[in-house]
Structure 1
Amino acid sequence: MSEIATFAGGCFWCLDATFARLRGVSQVDCGYMGGSVDAPAYKAVCAGDTGHAEVIQLTFDPAIISYNTLLELFFALHDPTTLNRQGEDVGTQYRSSLFFHSEAQALSAKKMIAELASQYEDPIVTTITPAATFWPAETYHQDYFDQNPQQPYCSAVVAGKVRKLVQEYGDLLK
């Protein structure tokens, strides 16, 4: 039986490009969660006007890849110690947040943060929040990296995260 996970860790293009390559992940959608505006648009989210985070919502088979493994990758593929920023992407829309869909996910997230805390010089600022309405991003954001690998942000930022995934977690790839 499939489960859903929702992660915010900077630009959703990075998370989409990495998590979509995992065995056991059947779908990844870019979108927005955690804000106060219904049906937000990318421009308003990027301006910080809606309170939403850029997220990916993925469907996965826990018999193939566990939620804990997804959490490990989430923390390995972004910096959970920078508040409202990932690299040059700055604003609350780029915050680090885990939106849980069950109490088991919330407990796993809290446990993972506690276990990882000593590995970082700065405190982990990732929030753990109940999942709210998922608003799909505009169509052109879906699978953005695979469709636009030469786009400057993709070649400068996203490609590095994909390389890290392949090099360090190749056994988890489709």
Structure 2
Amino acid sequence: MYSSEEKREIIINTLLYILQKLGGSGDSHKVFKILYFADEKHLAKYGAAINPDTYVAMNYGPVPSMAYEILKSLRGEGFMVQLKHEFTPYFELTNNHTVRAIAKPDMDYLSESEAQCIDESIKENQYLGFKGRTDKSHDNAYNNPDDDGYISFIKMAKVGGANDAMLNYINDSLENNTAVVQ
């Protein structure tokens, strides 16, 4: 289980990696969808998400909640606005929805398999337009969130092509991560 600070570091460096691969900047919709599709791939192949964020089903597709809050804080909005100073060494907004990396990712936060899945997702999705990304992300996992609007990693793994053994492994891992020690 990661602390909030560890989660932020992983998410920051994952976003920086994606932005670097996109030439240094990208609109948040593109970045978030590339990450979503990469997470589906990584879950299906390796049984773990790339980042410890949770995805929320929003109008234009799945959105990683903490990553979204980080970028909103740069606009002076959201739950993490008091932490804006922690994110300005890494990112700047060039408009309301386009973010530019102003630092290089620390690759200690990404495994080789995670980088590979992100690279595959970029190759497959970077040239899709807004509507294409939105339509593609409105998959079975997105269309079946829990009552709070969160998208299940199990459902994401299914969409990514995970077999039954991998789905059982992910389910067991999730149960172990949420188990309370008595």
Same fold (TM over 0.5): no
Higher alpha-carbon Rg: 2
Structure 2 length normalisation: TM-score?
A: 0.33
Structure 1 length normalisation: TM-score?
A: 0.34
Structure ranking higher in strand proportion: 1
